[in-house]
Amino acid sequence: DIQMTQSPSSLSASVGDRVTITCQASQDINDYLIWYQQKPGKAPQLLIFDASSLETGVPSRFSGSRSGTDFTLTISSLQPEDFATYYCLQYVILPFTFGPGTRVDV
Amino acid sequence: QVQLVESGGGVVQPGRSLRLSCVASGFTFSGYGMHWVRQAPGKGLDWVAVISHDGKNEFYSDSVKGRFTISRDNSKNTLYLQMNNLSDEDTAVYYCAKDRRLYSFGCSSWGQGTLVIVSS
């Protein structure tokens, strides 16, 4: 199975900060990566698919990029509603595997 | 808009069985693969199983293979998860999720989840 690691596991930030979260795959997954946002008690919401494509309705302050097996989610200017946990998912091959998550708080 | 509503969760004793359901609306159910994903209390997301749009292909995580069965009834727009021989480690919120395409292109929309507690 493909292993996904995320860093950092948590971070503290302020409104207006630029935030970067990284996900690394244990092998080549091409661009088959999704980023999700999850708020407490809620289902995950898709932000980015195919590593860098913004889902319809997601604010443009969210962006994704890829360098080899390293993937980055960037929030250009953190907003109050962005405090949440972020997960990556690889879908190049079954079984799908999620990263362990990155919690973003104040 | 896409709506997924799970049901069937509850408290069950170890070794017993439970069947979860997920009713879909707002899209052509028979045109998309469907997934189950779970989340233990305070933990991360754990992918469980997928079924293709026509029900002909299934795949499971190693942790549930041989115990869980995913199925669907396209005439009823409903996804199922039959869970047998449950253990404490299966305690989680179970989400159904719509695939982006016919089978395995990632989960797009998610239901609100149903809680399964395995406890004696």
Chain A residue nearest residue B46, CA to CA: A98
SS3 assignment for A7-69: ECCEEECCCCCCEEEEEEECCCCCCCEEEEEECCCCCCEEEEECCCEECCCCCCCEEEEEECC
Q: Which residue has the tokens 């207006």?
A: A16
Interface check for B59 against chain A (CB to CB < 8 A): the answer is yes
- Looking at residue A5, its pLDDT comes to 98
Pair of tokens at residue B45: 């997301």
DSSP B58-91: EEE-TTTTTTEEEEEETTTTEEEEEE-S--GGG-
SS3 category, B105:
coil
- Looking at residue A106, its pLDDT comes to 81
Contacts of B100 (CB under 8 A, 6+ apart): A49, B32, B106, B107, B108
Contacts of A96 (CB under 8 A, 6+ apart): A89, A90, B35, B47, B50, B104, B106, B107
Cis peptide upstream of residue A95 (ω within 30 degrees of 0): yes
Identity of the amino acid at B31: G
Condensed to tens digits (0 to 9), the pLDDT of residues A87-97 reads 999 999 999 99
Condensed to tens digits (0 to 9), the pLDDT of residues B66-109 reads 999 999 999 999 999 999 999 999 999 999 999 999 888 999 99
Write the residue in A38, A45, A49 that is nearest to B100 by C-beta.
A49
Residues of A in contact with B63 (CB under 8 A): none
With residue A92 as reference, give the H or E element that holds it: none
Q: How far is A78 from chain B (nearest CA, A)?
A: 22
Condensed to tens digits (0 to 9), the pLDDT of residues A27-84 reads 999 999 999 999 999 999 999 999 999 999 999 999 999 999 999 999 999 999 999 9
Contacts of B69 (CB under 8 A, 6+ apart): B58, B80, B81, B82, B84
CA–CA separation, B115 vs B10, rounded Å?
A: 6
**Cβ of B107 and A49 within 8 Å?**
no
Condensed to tens digits (0 to 9), the pLDDT of residues B31-80 reads 999 999 999 999 999 999 999 999 999 999 999 999 999 999 999 999 99
How many interchain CB pairs under 8 A, A with B?
Answer: 56
Write the residue in A46, A96, A98 that is nearest to B108 by C-beta.
A46
**Cβ of B110 and A96 within 8 Å?**
no
Interface check for B3 against chain A (CB to CB < 8 A): the answer is no
- C-alpha separations of B73 from A63, A95, B34, B53 in Å: 37, 23, 12, 10
- Looking at residue B29, its pLDDT comes to 97
Interface check for B27 against chain A (CB to CB < 8 A): the answer is no
